[in-house]
Amino acid sequence: MRLFVFFILIFLCFDFSFSQNEKNINGDIFLFQGNTAYRKGDFQQAEELYRKGLLMPSEHKSQGYFNLANSLYNQKKYDLAENEYINAMNLLDKNNNFAKSKIYYNIANLYLEQKKYDKAIDYYIKALTLNPLDSDAQYNLNYAWKMMQQSKKNNNKDKNDQNKSDNDNQNNQDQQDNQNQQNQQQNNNENKQQNQTNKQNQKSMSKEEIERLLKAMQQKELQTQQQLRDTLNYSKSKSSIEKDW
């Protein structure tokens, strides 16, 4: 499947040919070892070897930067990879359109991997401008365009869904507010009715208290009157006895 084709320039697998003396004076040996690690899938080790080789004199720095970018790409270090692709581009001969097109192609793949379809499209177009016959760039350009359209469609749908959700939430909030208002009104009515009942109860209790108090006073008055009658009767009885004597 050519969806995420990662084109590795032929010099990635090119084993640099150099004499034993050259090995001792430049960084090509490390670039060669980096290629070996890369082919084994050890991209971190390849990165370290490429970086080490690029710190030394070499006639293959452009290839070294490109392969370093490839190793970073495979570690998903996309920003770093793009920087190294640009370094490789800057060291290319200005007429080497084939190599430049492959660098643009790989940068486009970086953005395609990150779903940055607009930038991916821009770089696929740059690649095809330099190499119109690149079928992989044509395929991926078409794919990136379709994905960008689908992404816009999904974003619009998500936006509409969000708007609908917001409207539903607002409607629910309005209904809740109305319900709360009705409940508050009902509570106010109940409180008013309860207050009226309490006032009536308070009046009724006062009347009852007054009646009880009157009854108590009447009872006390009756008792006082009885005591006075008893006292008078006693005095009369005593006077009668004294007269008889």
Write the pLDDT tens digit of every residue in 103-157: 999 999 999 999 999 999 999 999 999 999 999 999 999 999 999 999 998 877 7
Comparing 82 with 164, the larger pLDDT belongs to 82
What domains sit in the chain, N to C, each tagged with a CATH number?
Answer: 10-153 (1.25.40.10)
Cβ neighbours, 10 Å, residue 12: 16
In angstroms, rounded to a whole number, what is the distance separating the alpha carbons of residues 103 and 9?
9
Give CB contacts under 8 A, 24+ apart, made by 99-103.
99/9, 99/62, 99/66, 100/130, 101/126, 101/127, 101/128, 101/129, 101/130, 101/131, 101/134, 101/137, 102/7, 102/9, 102/127, 102/131, 103/66
Q: Distance between CA atoms of 95 and 89, rounded to whole angstroms? A: 11
User: What is the model's pLDDT at position 234?
Assistant: 55
Answer for the pair 55, 61: CB distance below 8 angstroms, yes or no. Answer: no
Task: Say which range, 17-21, 22-26, 129-133, 164-168, has the weakest mean pLDDT.
Answer: 17-21
Question: Number of helices and strands (H, E) in the chain?
Answer: 8, 0
Vertex 73 angle, CA 70 and 74, to 5°:
90
Rounded Cα–Cα distance for residues 103 and 99 (Å): 6
**105-118: per-residue pLDDT in tens?**
999 999 999 999 99
